[in-house]
Amino acid sequence: MSSTDPQRRLVAARLAAGFVSVCAAAAFAWTVAATTDAQAAVVETVAPQAILIDLATGSVLMEKDSDQIIEPASMSKLMLIYMLFERLADGGLTMDDTLPVSETAWRMGGSKMFVGVNTRVTVSDLLRGIIVQSGNDACIVVAEALASSELAFAQMMTERGIELGLRNSVFKNSTGWPADGHVMTAADIARLAERIIRDFPQYYSMFAETSFTYNEIRQSNRNPLLYSYAGADGLKTGHTESAGYGLVGSATRNGRRLVLVVTGLENEQQRAREAERLLDWGFREFANYALFRAGEVVADAPLWLGDTATVPLVIQNDLTLTMSRAARRQMTVTAEYQGPIPAPIQSGQQVATLVIEAPDTETIRLPLYAGADVGRLGLVGRLGAALNYLVWGAAQTAAP
């Protein structure tokens, strides 16, 4: 093999289940937790639109028409909740601040927390009125307090959604009340749920509250997962006659968190059954595997005319993958480089690529870097290496 041919080296990849031997290669593009569509198994769903994501890696475990434009109903309240959490986090509001109730808010139909006209309600109560009771009246109170009108706040919601990466979301009101052009996708809803969980852990526990009493009226959370599914702790349901029954849920099991969105279901019972079934499938069929830690040596690559024989190849960030348990058993990890690598080399110089392959999983390519400075052989050493190559045809990779 000539020195211009890619060299491949066996790597021992440390996985959550222990050590396994896998092939190795080198040179790549990188994320802290590599994101893949780790769909090694197929699962059917009666939901017209659905998406299931592993939060740690962002891997999509299953999806069905998740980019189709839909009417989100009350699930779009998550956008208002996100923006209210932002105000709390940056100090613009506190939980004890009170916001005024207009006649418009008081008269709002649909699900309500039953605020009183011309009263003031604490932010803490309004949040629970929205999260637990899905109060449309509470949404309008917040929208009118944070903008000049509910319509103006809806425009702010759309703009902030674009900044968060919601590619297909347009808001016409604060509540999810049916309105022409008030649309999202299941993928956008899931992305928004992920951001709430990641960005506001200090407030997230409110989504797990099963009841809230305001104005002497006790109402229960409509999220069925909170009552029947171990580890479930959020987030929101939605329903209108035209949208059907939808749910954005999240649950944890054995240190993993999944985020699920299902929409367009026929009734509450079907929504609850399908949500539980898909979460069970995701937890059962997939797992997260920690392959390497930041700075860990993946392999040692041979050098040409270096003052050491090899250079360690290190990975820059922690690498965790989500994949099916079946695909994991057939995974290969290779370190690929043009070798032997010519000296000198500076520590931190990209010299190789990590390649990870598994059945039904998109190939991952990530950069590997030199883990040490390596000098070049002196004149005598280079002459000896050249002579050795002429005589034996073998590359001299280290000083004698």
Q: Where are the domains of the chain?
A: 6-36+290-392, 71-242
State the pLDDT at residue 309: 84
| pLDDT in the model for residue 39 | 46
How far apart (Å, rounded) are the C-alpha atoms in residues 305 and 339?
12
Topology at the third CATH level for domain 6-36+290-392: Peptidoglycan synthesis regulatory factor (PBP3), Domain 2 (2.60.410)
Q: Which residues of the chain have pLDDT under 70?
A: 1-41, 377-400
Q: Which one, of 19, 2, 5, lies nearest residue 333 by Cα?
A: 19
* pLDDT score for 51: 98
Q: How far is CA 101 from the centre of its chain?
A: 37
Residue 77 designated active-site: yes
134 belongs to the catalytic site: yes
In this prediction, residue 30 carries a pLDDT of 28
CATH fold of 71-242 reads Beta-lactamase (3.40.710)
Catalytic residue among 74, 111, 169, 174: 74
Annotation marks residue 74 as catalytic: yes
- Token look-up 């390596």 returns 374
Marked catalytic residue, from 66, 76, 134, 250: 134
Catalytic hit among 59, 64, 76, 77: 77
